[in-house]
């Protein structure tokens, strides 16, 4: 079991969230088959490509493992459709950083459910904006560097 500060924080956060009333936490799985190590900082990558630094100058801190999470969008979409169809809720607040929820938000909206999206400061496609009632983020403003 991972013991890094980040892993412990996430595990504790997930344990807290799953115990909250009126909240559903949907976790997928990591597509490790297509996972890969990548250079964290695009500037470092550009320096490497230009030849201003060499591969042997990179350290562990320059890399991050990148794996795509799978299976979550379908679970959330089914939850949204089920809640809307059964009229179990009057409002859905979706916290998601992508725009894969057009069909689900459109369905909920047509069923009369108020649909609020927190895109975590990500750009939202126009076709999703068309089917939501509000756009709001709870993330603090970015610090300027």
Residues 49 and 96 in one domain: no
Q: Is 126 within the bounds of a domain? A: yes
Note the pLDDT of residue 138. 81
CA–CA gap between residue 80 and residue 64 (Å, rounded): 33
Q: Is 2 within the bounds of a domain? A: no
Q: Is 11 within the bounds of a domain? A: no
Residues 77 and 33 in one domain: no
Which domain does 129 fall in, by range? 71-135
Note the pLDDT of residue 97. 66
Residues 77 and 51 in one domain: no
The whole-model pTM stands at 0.66
- Surface-to-core class of residue 143, CB atoms within 10 Å of its CB (0-12 exposed, 13-18 middle, 19+ buried): exposed
Note the pLDDT of residue 144. 67
Q: pLDDT tens track of the chain, all 145 residues?
A: 568 898 899 899 999 999 999 888 888 777 777 788 899 999 999 999 999 999 999 999 999 888 877 888 888 999 999 999 999 999 999 988 677 889 999 999 999 999 999 988 888 888 888 889 999 888 877 776 6
CA–CA gap between residue 111 and residue 72 (Å, rounded): 23
> In 1-145, which residue ranges form alpha helices assigned H by DSSP?
5-18, 42-50, 72-85, 102-110, 126-129
Note the pLDDT of residue 137. 85
Domain end among 10, 41, 66: 66
- Number of domains, the chain: 2
Residues 77 and 100 in one domain: yes
Domain end among 16, 39, 66: 66
């Amino acid at each position: 079991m991972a013991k890094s500060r980040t892993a412990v924080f996430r595990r504790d956060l997930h344990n807290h969230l799953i115990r909250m009333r009126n909240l559903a936490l949907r976790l997928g799985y990591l597509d490790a088959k297509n996972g890969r190590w990548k250079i964290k900082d695009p500037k470092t990558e550009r320096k490497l490509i230009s030849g201003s630094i060499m591969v042997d100058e990179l350290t562990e801190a320059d890399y991050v493992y990148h794996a795509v999470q799978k299976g979550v969008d379908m679970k959330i979409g089914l939850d949204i459709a089920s809640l809307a169809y059964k009229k179990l809720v009057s409002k859905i607040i979706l916290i998601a950083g992508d725009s894969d929820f057009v069909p689900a938000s459109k369905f909920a909206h047509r069923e009369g459910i108020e649909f609020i999206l927190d895109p975590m400061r990500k750009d939202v496609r126009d076709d999703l904006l068309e089917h939501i009632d509000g756009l709001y983020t709870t993330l603090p403003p970015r610090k300027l560097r």
